[in-house]
Every structure is written in structure tokens, then in C-alpha cells.
Structure 1
């Protein structure tokens, strides 16, 4: 199953992705994003995590304004793309 990095504050998203069977890791620093197929961030600390500067080759999803279900759909569409 794909490895998804999720920012710490997005616990509802972490739980939803885990229920779908994804390997979910918390993003506490930029090294956590390495090896992730997709990362979900709040966008509040834009660029602080260093994810936007090519730490990961996977997609980065900004979660602001989306529900956990919408984020799961985004993850699935990007993983299956």
C-alpha cells in the first residue's frame, strides 16, 4: 500500500487514510516526507516543512478547506494517476 505523509494536526485525515489501508506517517520534519507517495499538509506553515522544495517526489495536497473524505479522494486520484 502507498505511504502517505500527513501533517500532525490532521488526525481525522490520518485516521481516514488508515481505515482505507494506507501506510500513514506523521510529518514532524522534512525527513519524514522522504519516500512518501503523497503528502497532506495544512498549508498554514507553507514551506516550513520543506516539502515544496523537492523533499518528496510524490504529490503534495494542501488540506485547507477540504473534509477528510475529500482529501482521501484526492490522495486516491493522485496515487492511481
Structure 2
């Protein structure tokens, strides 16, 4: 699976790669194109809780989750 991950989440990038996923660092919105799932920090969420998402796949907010928890969430969402 191709997973987009915000570039500040290096531990998540390493954990997902260890599980055999192709990981793309999200530096700009267009990087999410073609990703099966995206992991974001949640810092891009505005006051109303609305995000502009450039992918049709699930978006996982990483705040408060460990790298292992995020990997489990990715696996469950992609099944």
C-alpha cells in the first residue's frame, strides 16, 4: 500500500516502511495524490474541524497516538 505521511512524523514513516508499505512524505497537498491512506499531525485542521483533503482514502490524525497505534490504525482502515 502507498501511505502518505506528514514529514514531521519520521518515527511513523520508519514503522510503516518496516511493515512493507511504500511511504510518501507529504510536503504539499499534491503529494497525497495516489495514496491509499494518509497520516497527518492534525495541525492543519481549522477551528471548525474541517480539513482540505487531497485524497479519497482514509486520513488518520496522529495526535496522541504512538507509531505502533498509527500502524494498527492504517492496517484496520485498509482492510
* TM-score of the alignment, normalized to the shorter chain, above 0.5: yes
Cα deviation, residue 44, structure 1? 1.3
1:6-58 CA-to-partner distances (Å, cap 9, x unmatched) read: 000000000000000000000000000011000000001226xxxx4341110
Secondary structure of the residue aligned to 2:23 is strand
* Structure 1: gaps spanning 5 or more residues: none
TM-score (norm 1): 0.88
What is the RMSD of the two structures over their aligned residues, measured on CA atoms? 1.1
* Structure 2: gaps spanning 5 or more residues: none
TM-score (norm 2): 0.90
User: How many correspondences in the alignment?
Assistant: 75
Q: Distance in 2 between matches of 1:78 and 1:11?
A: 21
- Aligned residue in 2 for 1:73: 72
- Aligned residue in 1 for 2:36: 37
